Structure 1
Amino acid sequence: MKKEIKVLIVDDHPMILEGYKNAISDLESDTLKIDLFSAQDCDSAFQKLKKASVTKPFDIVLYDINLPPSSDHKILSGEDLALKTRALQPETKIMVLTMHSNNFRIHNILRNIDPEGFLIKSDLGSEELKKAFVTVMKDPPYYSHTVTKLFRSQLSNDFIIDDLDRSILYHISVGTKTKNLPNYIPLSLAAIEKRKRNLKDVFDVTGKGNKALIEISKEKGFI
């Protein structure tokens, strides 16, 4: 009897998405059937996730981190989708795929999501994707070369940028004034100001304005 697994792949670049689908489809065999679903944006991915939560949850999901925000701006990236997956389908295995190779960004994703698979796209070819997928399916975790190197470095910063911090950064980046942020973020203005100060400390732009904070946030891949 064939083993059947249900897989969701999310990436906003059609050619990349098709490449992932083709590579994973190659893994089907006489003993394995893969039901593939795909999405190119946060809205459609979240709809598929919610539907699967009441029917048959996904066994594995693959998320590109750098996705445009959802139409209601409540899901800002693949990182947010991964966090929602943890809440809705805790048994689902998560694979993260990203272009970002900044050590702080990698560390933050590992601490926030703890994905069963974490691959930097510059490390990735079709054979490595297949190897990663099989490992995640059978005996996770799987980390690509750049992620593995991080574990050999001495990274001591324990500050984690969570979904509220990323929401603050996003709304500032699109021109929302700080005094208006409580209209979009479920925090008091004082709490938002404190988070902004912490973010400036972490990014070493203390005493500088929002422009400097947004520039360094973009450079490190948080926006």
Structure 2
Amino acid sequence: MMRITGNNNYNIVLVDDHPLITKAFRDTLKRIASEDTLHFNIVEAHTSDQVLAILDRISPVYQVDMIFLDIQLPPSSDGEIISGEDLGLKIREYSDDTKIVIVTAYNDPHRIHSILENINPDGFLIKDDLTPEELLIAVRHMIQDHPYYSSTVTQSVRKYFANDFVLDKIDRRLLYELSQGATLSDMVSLLPLSRPGIIKRKQRLKIVFNIQGADDRALIRKARKKGFI
């Protein structure tokens, strides 16, 4: 049960489709709370629908201080949210004051930069970098209103400076629908784009992913490898 936030009292939501991951985070947060004389009210969620239900129930009454958000989540039941990135944008609509901490296994520079541009998270952690000690440091930074990015994120941002292309929500939706077998005619009704607009988007994505001239199956494979679907 969430409680009102005080100076040392923080309401936290842990989001990952693997319960073992949220348990590991909960255990580390308990250690931080014990060492720093803090109190964390923790709720776990494993789907987008659960997160939205929590926010609908909690956010009108209590401030959700921090959400640890995995990117690779199954789509919501209504199909409006197809990844943790879309969920992050939805969380921003609930509260600008909630700190969003991205936790993901994806380390592709394009993917990282897209998340940074679209969500502007307060924390960004790559699972391969993550240890209990780093999580401890990250949480302490964010409690003091300092953003925290793990080393892989920092390095990827540096690499990406040479390329300012960012995949927006329409790009990500196009890739998702393509991976679900949608035809060009299907996507005209699913996306706010004309047939020529969809074709141009796909061509641009193939250029960005360095697979010019490849077919749509190659685009799906590359997008999946980079963590966009």
2:202 counterpart letter in structure 1: K
- Cα distance in 1 for partners of 2:57, 2:26 equals 21
Q: For residue 192 of structure 1, report the CA deviation from its aligned partner.
A: 2.5
- Cα distance in 2 for partners of 1:62, 1:143 equals 13
- SS for the counterpart of 2:43 is strand
- Cα distance in 2 for partners of 1:172, 1:2 equals 47
Tell me the equivalent position of 2:196: 190
Does 2:170 correspond to 1:164?
yes
Does 2:21 correspond to 1:25?
no
> Which of the numbers 113, 121, 125 marks the counterpart of 1:107?
113
Q: For residue 148 of structure 1, report the CA deviation from its aligned partner.
A: 2.0
> Is the contact made by 1:2 and 1:31 (CA closer than 8 Å) also made in structure 2?
no
> Which of the numbers 5, 16, 20 marks the counterpart of 1:15?
20
2:12 counterpart letter in structure 1: V
Tell me the equivalent position of 1:65: 71
> Which of the numbers 153, 162, 165 marks the counterpart of 1:147?
153
Sequence identity (%) = 42
- Cα distance in 2 for partners of 1:103, 1:154 equals 6
- SS for the counterpart of 2:32 is coil
- Cα distance in 1 for partners of 2:87, 2:20 equals 21
> Is the contact made by 1:2 and 1:33 (CA closer than 8 Å) also made in structure 2?
no
Question: So what's the TM-score if we normalise by structure 2?
Answer: 0.90
- SS for the counterpart of 1:35 is strand
- SS for the counterpart of 2:81 is coil
Tell me the equivalent position of 1:135: 141
* Cα shift readout 1:173-219 (whole Å, capped 9, x = no counterpart): 01111211133233333333332222122112233221111011011
Tell me the equivalent position of 1:43: 49
> Is the contact made by 2:69 and 2:101 (CA closer than 8 Å) also made in structure 1?
yes
Question: So what's the TM-score if we normalise by structure 1?
Answer: 0.92
Does 2:4 correspond to 1:4?
no
What stretches of structure 2 of length at least 5 have no aligned partner? Answer: 1-5
- SS for the counterpart of 1:115 is coil
Tell me the equivalent position of 2:3: none
Range with bigger deviation, 122-131 or 28-37: 28-37
CA RMSD of aligned residues (A): 1.8
- Cα distance in 2 for partners of 1:100, 1:22 equals 23
> Is the contact made by 2:111 and 2:226 (CA closer than 8 Å) also made in structure 1?
yes
Q: For residue 2 of structure 1, report the CA deviation from its aligned partner.
A: 5.6
- SS for the counterpart of 2:33 is coil
